[in-house]
Structure 1
Amino acid sequence: MVLSEKGARFELLEPDTQTKLLLSVSPCKNDTVKILVDELRPLKARYRVPDVMTGEPQCEQLRVVRQSQHSITLSWSSGCHQVCVWHFPFRLEILCEEEVVVTFNSKGKLWFETLQDPPRVTPPGRELEEDDTSFLWKETFRQFEDVKANCPSSIGSDFCLHGFSHVFGLPEHADSLQLKDTRDGEPYRLYNLDVFAYELHSRLGLYGSVPLLVAHKPERTLGLFWLNASETFVNVYYRPSDHQNDQTPRVKRRRTQPQTDVRWLSESGVIDCTVLLGPTPQQLFSQYAQLTGYQALPPLFSLGYHQCRWNYDDEADVKAVDAGFDHHDIPYDVIWLDIEHTEGKRYFTWDSALFPDPAGLQRHLEKKRRKLVVISDPHIKVDPDWLLYCEARDGGHFVKNREGQIYRGSCWPGESSYLDFSSPDTRAWYSRCFGLEKYKGSTPSLFVWNDMNEPSVFDGPEKTMPKDAVHYGGLAHREVHNLYGFHQHMATFEGLITRSGGSQRPFVLSRSFFAGSQRFGAVWTGDNAASWDYLKISIPMLLSLSVAGIAFCGADVGGFVQDPEPELLIRWYQAAALQPFFRGHSAKMTKRREPWLFGEEVTAAIRSVIEERYCLLPYWYTLFHHSHTCGLPPLRPLWVEFPREQNTFSVDNQYMIGRALLACPVTEPKVKEIQVLLPGSAEVWFDIHSAEGFKGGRTLSLPVTMDTVPVFQRGGSVVCRSTGSGSCTADVQWMPLSITVALNSQGAADGELYLDDGHSFSYRDRKAFCLRRFNMLSGRLLCRPASEEGTYECETVVQSVSILGLKSKPSSVVVHVSGAGDTRAAFQYTESCSTLTVNDLDLRVTTDWDIQIG
């Protein structure tokens, strides 16, 4: 063993193969522990994933506290945490407060295939010699042959999570929030693929991968982050608590704690795993964000409603749809164009017949303060007469095949080559393509959608790129596969920042993603279908993404393929309006689906939920500020807010929006009543529509109609809303606010409001923002700064305050404004729902004030 300021190093020897490995253990100041296993003397450097980690966490100094012939125990963090390394059989235990929480190599499943020189070629006609392993270097899949450059090089290990019986994460899978035991089925696969109308309740890979597994029990939340971009399989085995029978009759049988065994296996790379020790869900989210980056603060417009279709036909069609929203008084912010807007599927171009004046179209939308999003895929049409193709070819920006020629595959344009985003030079070149002087017809109000970036190859193995394709630095595609979309997302994000001179926040949606993609924008769940089952599965899919750091996520409203019945469409809008990314999208073979095409009753229902979304934008924007600064996802499983209530651990049909709102969308047809779990026996919950209060710690039977959107505000919280919805977010930004104070059983409540200009980086570069806290205690509501940092002058005012759960009618309401004295305010008290309402306040948000209830 060698101790250093970066942790401890151990040499490992596999007795059967005599393989020598190097184990590094690095505890960090943010209560994480990095475990790294590599070959001691590799034939060449094995691939380590770049660009995902935002920096190396500061390491803690280890010290020896116990040592014997069998083990050595090292301690850090004032002795609260320890690592115990056992010699033979080798295992590594992580202890918190003297309790083992994680064991690495608990079952002795550590697996490490070492790199080897290429095998000698067996002459034709001669049989393989006994020790010849060249057959392992080639694999066939249907008509495809995969040749490994340095032999099979898979790695893997197992972990035991002590005391845990619920694990989550590992998106993206169309499955339940809690990961299932894999003993009787397939393991969870992390391998990014284009899967059209994907199978539900499946562990097969979809469009993106985040190799983060989160375990939770009442006392602790813990994470395993397996940093590997190659094809990865994860097995989960739950072992419930049980009695162990001692053979001595006089000894009582003792009860063992439950545990979960997790086995990781990746095709290549090194073992690079970080254990996140929590112990709370909030601390774990912060630890993970410190490793891979915080959610980008989105521009405010991107939190509004987006209207998309594959494809809107031409400029007249786009303008007609835009006018339709105004005609039907439905707010929206962004209209999208799919691949048909281009000249023959050549990205960064426009079909001159269908879109003769794209800049004019964008200016038309910008006058209404709306935006246009266009698609940009990673495949480039093979066309020697196209300047962009020639630039990419001549600049060496394409992925190559194993023979060293430019790789060609089939996608939307036909024969295509694929940009090598693993190359920094290629990413820089691609970013420059978004410059206004280069991307003809674009304006600053144009934003971007990265699709088909798994990458999708129609004639490739599993509709993706062959694993032996060659990337920058001679890397095989197998090494970097799950990073492909991540790197395109990164390059697009940087391109839009550069386009604005670094002043404007980008908006980029990507279908493929990896750990760290949250730094670049939003993702969605891909090609879903118009059925109730897909609506239902979208909730656990989005919760899984949120738990794994991808906070800005959504699902296509109404289903991408097939045609939704009106009831399904309404219910989908109701659900999606309560989720982070809110976009209606459909395939070109479906019927048109604009909200006003299904009759006035449907239009009114959709209009209502979109308006409610816009009214709630001040709350959503504040949640994204917290995600950007603290790592807290806006969308949260119930157990995140109620970590000790085991009846919440498996719930994935309802969720928290921040800490204040509980949503339970209706996802079944023709229902008249739904069951809503209201956690917390000491909690009070208020229906946001009726203001009726309900005691927590129960399951509520709630009657529902087609207009019912079940949302409850938690007692003890304050939620800020806009008083109107306007036609887009730019209208909402300057509207007065209404504040809803929901009192807990002690008559207290608190909440925050974040404000900035909604589009620039001034909040970061010049601290041009304000964060205000509303706190109510002992009948007094105060508005004060929540942060000493930040200055933002705005005219936003609070127009009204509603206080829910006020048990008796007050005799007076007195408003005190700093520097302006006291004013008695008129108020209304509704006894049937114990609600006090104070209107016509006109109180500046940026001013200190308080309201005293007498």
Structure 2
Amino acid sequence: MSTHTGRKNSNNAFIRFTKHFFLLAFVILVFIIMIAAVKRQDFRTCAQTSFCRRNRAYADKAASSPYNVIEDTIKIEDGVISGELINSKNKIYFIFEIHLLINNVVRIRVNEKSPLKPRYDRVKDWSLIQEPIITLEYTENTVKDGFTSISFGIDRNHKVIIHHAPFRVELLDNDLPVITFNDRGFFNIEHLRKKDDPVNSQPDKLVIQSDDSADLISEEIQENIKEKQEDGSWEETFNGKKDSKPNGPESIGLDISFPGFGHVYGIPEHATSFSLKETRGGQGAYDEPYRLYNLDVFEYELDNPMALYGSIPFMMAHRKGASVAVLWLNSAETWIDVVKSKEDKHGLSSFLNFGKTTPISTHTHWFSESGIIDVFAFLGPTTSDIFKQYGSLTGFTALPQSFAIGYHQCRWNYLNQLDVAEVDAGFDKHDIPYDVIWLDIEHTDNKKYLTWDKTKFTDPEKMQRDIGRKGRKMVTIVDPHFKKDDNYYVYKEAKDLDILTKDNNDQVYDGWCWPGNSVWTDWTNPKAQDWWAKKFAFDQYKESTEFLFIWNDMNEPSVFTGPEITMHKDVIHYEGWEHRNIHNLFGMAYHAATAQGLINRTIPHRRPFVLSRAFFVGSQRFGAIWTGDNSVSWDHLAISSPMLLTIGISGLPFSGVRWYQTGAFQPFFRAHAHIDTKRREPWLFGEPHTSYIRDAIRQRYILLPFWYTLFQEASTDGMPIIRPMFVIFPNEEETFSMEDQYFVGNSLLVKPITSQGQTSTEIYFSRNEVFYDYYTFKKVKGSGKVKVIAPINKIPVFLRGGSIIPRRQRFRRSSLSMRSDPFTLLVALDKKGEATGSLYLDDGETYEYQKGHFIHRKFNFTSRKLLSTSFIDGQIIDKENNYIKSNQDLRVERIIIVGIDRAPKKIIGYYNDLTDDKKELEFSSGGTNYIGINIEEISKDVVIIRDPKLFISKDWTIEFVN
């Protein structure tokens, strides 16, 4: 007996040793992979993706679309045009609906009429915040002669024309086509079929153009194409990983053209140019389509349309006088081809003032692996209209807690509790403000999330409260995979609730990630959403506090042993849907549940902060994202601007990368370092670099009131926080492809320095505007492209004339410490001597602002008068816990007016309800620096009003007397 027990214990010890050995070997292997550059062979190309090959082949051969409207099925009722389509080649029927929505939006939906089983149509439930509202403002024009025409909108200046044979849809603005669907005949739906059905087992036949007529391809050619197309239709293998494809081919495709639009933008995330390049011919074109498929791509390649961490199938087109956009609402793997042509089939030249120049049109081809066609068209006509139209459907960005827009200090990994305390103290010692310190995966107990390594972090609650007393916060990483260990309570609960994803044999799906053998919860299951949100209660996430917030990484999802380092497509989710249908929204579903957990953990609720790496349509409602695992290189710094601009115009403005001077002027400001790098806390760089970093971070804090105001604007009307040049100057063609400079709001022009050793740069200044150096207030001489000196101690930033920017100029240790500080108003006058701006304030934590508990001021300088008035007329001030009443003593301590044409003899100020109590104010002209950066020269056309003794929440006027 004793011998048997000893042998058993010996065997168990050997098994444990072997298990740990292979686990260690695996971790080392993963680490080697992660620190190497991206391995392109780990990720599929279009040629290695059967549905991409098929749809591209369809586009190459198709010249006449076989999809026709059955005219006697057309109905127009309550703003919806509906009917049936038939594929004339295989006699398969489809249903279509065109919804005329409020605010100049059109929705097109196409599905099989009688599919063998339902096609996935749940994306709308995740991405849309409400059922889109249909307009009744329309007029039927005709339903005959081969087309159906309807005018819609209040002024009936928009029109939808449905061509019956073949099916084609045109959207017009003032009788000019702006978007056309199936203009090139690429519309294609692979109907669901039985594998053994001799009639329907093959992909749909193709047609080619021959003597101006569409004929069936010859038997021999048809067989060759059939063989090429069938490869991968029912089963596909990549790098030894098999995809079983039980439903066979089920892809959808549609071409969308933008006549007269030479530039298109959007479809993040790609490390590519802001104005999208062509993918099938053209100067500098890619040889691959843009791919949307959330993937973990470490140190990704630049200038490449390969898929990255997030996917937003939104595209905007812009030309002089018009902007339009489309949203392809599909969460399956999607590819987009982009081509441009000089053509004038719609006779646009004379209408668009192109003269003898033929306008450039952009044609796109969208195809997804599964689902239905569900496309929104946003008709603008301006970019700001589109941002509001898009946000009204998918939700505006969530207003974050105010600390979230401060500076974040992050590393993989801070070693232990003492290390955290020393880093925190280091910021105080070197007078550098910061708001958040982050802990990566090493803080956990053996990579088990929602736990602590108690050897390294002996008292996590005390650690959080110590930094919390300074107004600071902590973020811990919580990934979506769970260690497969019955002693791990999170895994065991998920298993017992039966909310884990299953493989195609109905067994719990497992794979490898940071903890080793891991499982993934099915975040599309409502039960899983509810369970996960409860895990962030303080009695569930042990030793967490109200000072702790969350980082969701690896949520593409990343599966080290999966195909393309992600989940197998035939994994089964809630209600039997395959992973292929929901892949791109998986990370967002996890992000949503985490954010809800942070909201629920306190009463009254406080706003969450959750950073996510994966994202999709609607992610803006749940928190911030970042551009993933870039490398510390000048090239990656340069690409950060077009990437963030692209993400911002696609409805997700709270984003950022890992830099100091550039990061200080991006929405999300975090420094992060890989585990194998040297420590990078700001003071370790040594002088003068530590001072440069300190100055960059301080500039961020000076402008926090301005940034917070921009976030409030984004949360109500969808405007990006950093804005492309063409958004500010929509009729200046020089700006249409500009990506290396941008605006923060409408007021600050920023040009990051992205080359080593660079001490000057060229900046484009609009010919119709006046600009001032942000640091010296000197007026910029010249317009167009102007050479600007850019020393290492500053990033080029310029004030746009006509702007009023609120600032707080006292240096504190964190944003919370600044809440009672007075304000400086920076007024930059335009050529007319005018300027406008605003300031939004609330408690920065709760949802009390939704009850009207906020301060929102509008500033206007005109006729040599500066007025402060309420942004909202008749704002209610209730008796309990009103933000205005509790902050009545917030005051303006300084007003700086830049670009004044002549110094006043005196300046008087008064409250608008006390006009008899006018006071003469103290002021000076030029020569003094009040910015916080050591710059010697200040422009002389500056007037500085000191301590006007005016409260920020009241209506007041300041007059310049000649």
Same fold (TM over 0.5): yes
The equivalent of 1:54 in structure 2 is: 129
- SS for the counterpart of 2:665 is coil
Encode CA deviations 1:210-262: one digit per residue, 9 max, x unaligned: 000011111111111000000000011111357999xxxxxxx9764321101
- SS for the counterpart of 2:475 is strand
Give the Cα–Cα distance (whole angstroms) in 1 for the partners of residues 345 and 534 of structure 2.
Answer: 64
Q: Which runs of 5+ in 2 are unaligned?
A: 1-73, 199-222, 282-286, 348-354, 878-883, 928-938
Give the Cα–Cα distance (whole angstroms) in 2 for the partners of residues 256 and 607 of structure 1.
Answer: 52
* Correspondence 1:396 to 2:513: no
C-alpha displacement at 1:20, in angstroms? Answer: 1.0
The equivalent of 2:811 in structure 1 is: 725
Please point out which of 605, 630, 633 is paired with 2:720.
633
* 2:922–2:948 Cα contact (<8 Å) kept: no
Letter in 2 for 1:352: K
Cα 1:650–1:833 change in 2 (3 A) is farther
The equivalent of 1:807 in structure 2 is: 901
* 1:238–1:260 Cα contact (<8 Å) kept: yes
* Correspondence 1:23 to 2:125: no
- SS for the counterpart of 2:533 is helix
The equivalent of 2:866 in structure 1 is: 781
* Correspondence 1:615 to 2:702: yes
Letter in 2 for 1:161: F
Give the Cα–Cα distance (whole angstroms) in 1 for the partners of residues 111 and 377 of structure 2.
Answer: 17
Please point out which of 168, 171, 189 is paired with 1:112.
189
1:43-442 pair list within 5 angstroms: 43-48=116-121, 49=123, 50-61=125-136, 62-77=138-153, 78-117=155-194, 119=196, 136-184=233-281, 185-240=287-342, 256-442=358-544
* 2:683–2:690 Cα contact (<8 Å) kept: yes
* 1:612–1:725 Cα contact (<8 Å) kept: no
C-alpha displacement at 1:134, in angstroms? Answer: 10
* Correspondence 1:852 to 2:959: yes
The equivalent of 2:598 in structure 1 is: 496
Give the Cα–Cα distance (whole angstroms) in 1 for the partners of residues 688 and 753 of structure 2.
Answer: 18
C-alpha displacement at 1:90, in angstroms? Answer: 1.9
Letter in 1 for 2:265: F
Cα 1:120–1:113 change in 2 (3 A) is closer
C-alpha displacement at 1:28, in angstroms? Answer: 0.5
1:623-702 pair list within 5 angstroms: 623-679=710-766, 681-694=767-780, 697-702=783-788
* 1:615–1:732 Cα contact (<8 Å) kept: no
The equivalent of 1:569 in structure 2 is: none
C-alpha displacement at 1:556, in angstroms? Answer: 2.0
* 2:279–2:339 Cα contact (<8 Å) kept: yes
* 1:688–1:711 Cα contact (<8 Å) kept: yes
Give the Cα–Cα distance (whole angstroms) in 2 for the partners of residues 375 and 643 of structure 1.
Answer: 41
Q: Which entry has the higher C-alpha Rg, 1 or 2?
A: 2
The equivalent of 2:855 in structure 1 is: 770
Encode CA deviations 1:376-398: one digit per residue, 9 max, x unaligned: 00100000122221110010111
C-alpha displacement at 1:364, in angstroms? Answer: 0.6
Give the Cα–Cα distance (whole angstroms) in 1 for the partners of residues 913 and 180 of structure 2.
Answer: 60
Give the Cα–Cα distance (whole angstroms) in 1 for the partners of residues 848 and 830 of structure 2.
Answer: 37
Cα 1:770–1:790 change in 2 (3 A) is farther
The equivalent of 1:39 in structure 2 is: 112
Letter in 2 for 1:729: S
- SS for the counterpart of 1:534 is helix
Give the Cα–Cα distance (whole angstroms) in 2 for the partners of residues 3 and 68 of structure 1.
Answer: 13
- SS for the counterpart of 2:817 is helix
C-alpha displacement at 1:356, in angstroms? Answer: 1.4
C-alpha displacement at 1:502, in angstroms? Answer: 5.0
C-alpha displacement at 1:689, in angstroms? Answer: 0.7
Give the Cα–Cα distance (whole angstroms) in 2 for the partners of residues 597 and 281 of structure 1.
Answer: 44
The equivalent of 2:57 in structure 1 is: none
* 2:445–2:453 Cα contact (<8 Å) kept: yes
* 2:696–2:794 Cα contact (<8 Å) kept: no
C-alpha displacement at 1:44, in angstroms? Answer: 1.9
The equivalent of 2:218 in structure 1 is: none
C-alpha displacement at 1:72, in angstroms? Answer: 1.6
Letter in 1 for 2:273: S
The equivalent of 2:624 in structure 1 is: 522
C-alpha displacement at 1:67, in angstroms? Answer: 3.7
TM-score by length of 2: 0.84
Q: Which runs of 5+ in 1 are unaligned?
A: 122-129, 246-252, 558-572
Please point out which of 816, 828, 831 is paired with 2:924.
828
C-alpha displacement at 1:63, in angstroms? Answer: 3.6
Give the Cα–Cα distance (whole angstroms) in 2 for the partners of residues 225 and 632 of structure 1.
Answer: 17
Encode CA deviations 1:624-647: one digit per residue, 9 max, x unaligned: 000001111111001101111110
* Root-mean-square deviation over aligned CA pairs: 1.8
Give the Cα–Cα distance (whole angstroms) in 2 for the partners of residues 92 and 384 of structure 1.
Answer: 56
Encode CA deviations 1:567-597: one digit per residue, 9 max, x unaligned: xxxxxx1110000000000110001000000
- SS for the counterpart of 1:754 is strand
Give the Cα–Cα distance (whole angstroms) in 2 for the partners of residues 810 and 486 of structure 1.
Answer: 56
* 1:722–1:736 Cα contact (<8 Å) kept: yes
Cα 1:97–1:134 change in 2 (3 A) is closer
Question: Which runs of 4 or more aligned residues in structure 1 lie more than 3 Å from their structure 2 counterparts after TM superposition?
Answer: 117-121, 130-135, 240-245, 253-256
Give the Cα–Cα distance (whole angstroms) in 2 for the partners of residues 66 and 623 of structure 1.
Answer: 46
- SS for the counterpart of 2:466 is helix
1:459-608 pair list within 5 angstroms: 459-501=561-603, 503-557=605-659, 573-608=660-695
Encode CA deviations 1:458-499: one digit per residue, 9 max, x unaligned: 010000000001011101000000011100000001000111
C-alpha displacement at 1:135, in angstroms? Answer: 6.7
Equivalent residue pairs, number = 822
Give the Cα–Cα distance (whole angstroms) in 1 for the partners of residues 141 and 356 of structure 2.
Answer: 30
Encode CA deviations 1:644-667: one digit per residue, 9 max, x unaligned: 111011111110000111101111
Letter in 2 for 1:548: S
* 1:189–1:204 Cα contact (<8 Å) kept: yes
The equivalent of 1:250 in structure 2 is: none
Percent of aligned pairs sharing the same letter = 42
* 2:262–2:359 Cα contact (<8 Å) kept: no
C-alpha displacement at 1:30, in angstroms? Answer: 1.4
Letter in 2 for 1:53: L
- SS for the counterpart of 1:175 is coil
Cα 1:115–1:479 change in 2 (3 A) is same
